[in-house]
Amino acid sequence: MKTKEAVLEAVRNGRESQCLDGRDYARLVLFFESDQWEPFGFALPGEETCTLKPWAREELLAQLESDLNFGIEKAEGQRGISASLMYEVVKMWLWILDDPLQHHDNYHGYGLPFFEEIQTKYFAVEATRNGGEVQ
């Protein structure tokens, strides 16, 4: 798994958000102090604060699981833009976890086969779709 410092350095060195709306980095910055958000393209307005999430494998996996479930919901609903953005969010978490599936580039079926592969790998949940096909 990448260190917090390695992720911040990669962003400072030009690693960009893969989502047109920045939702991948919007989730990631919650693991960083707000004074480190600028390279991600974010800043807290005024005197607002937010709760820092701890940089721990369990916390990152919890965020992956949440984002994965949301991606599956969007894929099952055939919500193309939302599903494709969540596909990129999930790949970002895989990049942080140093999982080779971060390089997955066969987006089809609204990303559902990929999401289910990740769900099985990390959360021991087997796919339960009708015949394995998107309806």
Residue 134, pLDDT > 60, answer: no
Range of the domain at 15: 4-132
pTM as predicted: 0.88
pLDDT tens digits, 104-116: 988 999 999 999 9
Residue 3, pLDDT > 60, answer: yes
pLDDT tens digits, 40-96: 999 988 888 889 999 999 999 999 999 999 999 999 999 999 999 999 999 999 999
**Cβ–Cβ < 8 Å for 111, 78:** no
- Count of structural domains, the chain: 1
